[in-house]
Amino acid sequence: MPDGARSFVRAEEDPALAACRATAEALSAYAAERPGREAAQWAFVAQERVAECTYLIDEGARQDELQGLADAARGELAALTLGLLDEAGPMTAERLAALDADTLALLTWYAAPWPVRWLWPPDTDAHGVALRPRIVNLFHGPGGWSEGIRRVLGADVDMIGVDLDPGAAATANAAGHLCIVADIAALDPEHPALQWVVGVILSPPCQAFSPAGRRRGHEVAAIELVCSVIRSVGGAAGYLQTVHADGSDAGCAPRSGETWPEVRARLAGLEDERAGLMAEAAIWPLAMLCSNGSVEWVAVEQSSALPAEIEEAIFFEFEQAGWRTTEAMTLDSVEHGSPSHRKRRFLTAYRNQTPVISVHPETPFPVTTFAQCVGWGPGRRVNTRGQRGIDPRTGRPKGGGGFSADRPSNCVTATAYGWKDEDSGQRIHQNDIGRLVGFRSDYPWTHIGRGEGIRTRAQQAADVVCPMTAAAVIGRVLNLHWEEQTRTYVTKLYDTAGPA
């Protein structure tokens, strides 16, 4: 077969070329039906892409180059399809369910990793307020925020979680929360499916700021680098405030041209890359807004040892972007009825409102002790040493310690699976660990991988936001009274266990 014929066959078989041709044909047909310069230009660009793809195939181009052309073509075809569907009227669940398989597959690809329904605005009430506000829950984990919002607070929201840990995501999904597995720092915060999201929740990993992670995030160089990247977010999003020579307001400078991958790439110099994930707290909401987004509020949870410089840098970016209110508070989950201490730092920002509902209860919650939570009788002590070796100098186990079970527990850690009664050796189980941090007894803690995952599931519980505290924070954010619902939840959760 002549070389030219071989090239033709290769091109004809290439899926990238097929995608480019499909888009060119659709745009050419659209231009023929609607004569005009804009439609003709779209069709011309699409035909040029077909020629470029054919040439690259003939030259033996890399597959990633061809895939880039195919993705661009499919994106244009999806945008055209969305426009035509919008012209036919508002999208409803019935219309969406009736789409043909090819159209649905195209739009599913275009919306990924978000649900197809998010390509259209949500249903609203007579005042234009979304019936089910859309929320993105980043670093979702096994579901602390989600349980607090849905089960404790009873809020009806359309919330999608994202987490890199398949096990934590599996736990969340088994509990009825929608959580996708993805690298948050690799996602595009300007994705078109995010334009009707009103709330962003983030719980970046805390280890870089805590003793468990050797506090690498507290090193001066780390703080300076993270703050430097955060301070570039406003410029990249088009919210950098400028002034005239006389000092008067000159509005915002044009977007700097730095892409989000470029902004994030500068964090690669960190010794503990987890510290850099705090930059996502500024990147996501401001990037979404600069792309015709609808974000109204942000809630961030982090270690109580979060450096003040990072906190201030994040708030400065929101303030220069015109957000009305920023606030920070340190909360201990015991204040909201938890039987274990969990002191965390919460940052919240509001674009157009000043919250009025307090995160603190009007009257103190009854104290729930460790013993009440796990069903032990009074007068017992908890041994937190686990399976530690014996110190030959003292004849006692190395490290660890203990506490009275007649008070709230120490902060739950991944080693809680080894906690036991000092005298009898009776151990607690995963359902006890979950209850200690505010989860129902039958919560489906899930491990993916070999073995039972005893430590892995305990780690999931150790990493969560306490659902009762989440209800208080989001109750303030959404202007919903949270205290009565939370008291009901706490009473139901902890008044059921009897002495062992």
CATH of the domain at 158: 3.40.50.150
What whole-number distance in Å separates Cα of residue 216 and Cα of residue 210?
8
Last residue of a domain, one of 45, 80, 111: 111
In a domain, 477, yes or no: no
Do 327 and 292 have their domain in common? yes
In a domain, 137, yes or no: yes
Last residue of a domain, one of 56, 77, 111: 111
The DSSP bridge partners found for residue 130 are 124
Residue numbers of the domain that contains 159: 133-350
Do 342 and 377 have their domain in common? no
Do 274 and 394 have their domain in common? no
Do 240 and 151 have their domain in common? yes
Rg (CA), the chain: 27
Do 179 and 297 have their domain in common? yes
In a domain, 361, yes or no: no
Do 35 and 97 have their domain in common? yes
pLDDT at 8: 40
Do 409 and 278 have their domain in common? no
Do 91 and 141 have their domain in common? no
Do 443 and 344 have their domain in common? no
Do 74 and 178 have their domain in common? no
In a domain, 363, yes or no: no
CB neighbour burial string for 218-257, b if at least 16 within 10 angstroms, e if fewer = bbeebbebbbebbbbbbbbbbbbeeeeeeeeeeebeeebe
Q: Count up the domains in the chain and report the number.
A: 3
pLDDT per position in the chain (500 positions), as tens? 344 433 444 455 789 999 999 999 999 999 999 888 888 999 999 999 999 999 999 988 888 899 999 999 999 999 999 999 999 999 999 999 999 999 999 999 999 999 999 999 999 999 999 999 999 999 999 999 999 999 999 999 999 999 999 999 999 999 999 999 999 999 999 999 999 999 999 999 999 998 766 778 889 999 999 999 999 999 999 999 999 999 888 899 999 999 999 999 999 999 999 999 999 999 999 999 999 999 999 999 999 999 999 999 999 999 999 999 999 999 999 999 999 999 999 999 999 999 999 999 999 999 999 999 999 999 999 999 865 555 566 655 555 589 999 999 999 999 999 999 999 999 999 999 999 999 999 999 999 999 899 999 999 999 999 999 999 999 999 999 999 999 999 999 998 444 43
pLDDT at 211: 74
pLDDT at 10: 47
In a domain, 359, yes or no: no
In a domain, 255, yes or no: yes
Do 102 and 147 have their domain in common? no
pLDDT at 279: 98
Do 164 and 278 have their domain in common? yes
In a domain, 500, yes or no: no
Question: Which of 336, 376, 340, 342 lies closest to 489, judged by CA?
Answer: 336
In a domain, 486, yes or no: no
